With several copies, the nearest count.
Chain A
Amino acid sequence: QELSQWAQKETEKAQLQQNVHRFTDMCWKKCITEPATSGSLTSQEESCITNCLQRFFDTNSMVVQLVQRKAL
């Protein structure tokens, strides 16, 4: 049983890592439009990337609520 719990945790971790890759890709494409000219994110790019993930989660919550209220 401990083994199966361990396996489940590892699967969840892999899923979480996969999501991090997917969202990094998505927010990179949204926020970084110019070729790199310096080796670090500008403060504008940095906040765009943080906001991108948070607003994506907000959008997802709104959509789930609309579906649950059968408003679509």
Chain B
Amino acid sequence: KIKQEFAVANISELVNRLTENCFNNCITTPTGSLDTNDQNCISQCATKYTQAWNIISKTYIQLARH
């Protein structure tokens, strides 16, 4: 059960960091709504951020072993 809590905490931290970084990446000047461009940018940014997170995970585990 604790293991699950760790996993949940991990996803929740990813959602928080992803939201903050993609909000900053895509929404330079906040307007009255998210238009199609904004939504596309956020969705693409979210995929890219997850890729970056996977790369750092792998590289970090390799580096931490040595």
Contact = CB atoms under 8 A, between A and B. Distances in A.
B47 A39 contact: yes
Contact of B44 (A31, A36, A57, A67): A36
Given A24-B17, A59-B22, A66-B43, A36 B48 contact: yes
A57 B63 contact: yes
Given A17-B10, A59-B22, A35 B41 contact: yes
Contacts, number: 142
A63 B44 contact: no
Give chain B's interface residue range (CB within 8 Å of chain A). 35 or more
A51 B30 contact: yes
A39 to B, nearest CB: 4
Nearest to A23: B56
Interface string B2-20: 1100100111011101111
Given A21-B13, A24-B53, 12 more contacts: A10-B2, A17-B9, A24-B56, A30-B24, A39-B43, A40-B51, A51-B32, A55-B27, A55-B31, A58-B33, A58-B34, A59-B23
16 contacts: A19-B60, A20-B60, A30-B30, A36-B48, A39-B43, A39-B44, A39-B48, A40-B48, A48-B29, A49-B55, A51-B30, A52-B27, A52-B30, A60-B19, A67-B15, A71-B43
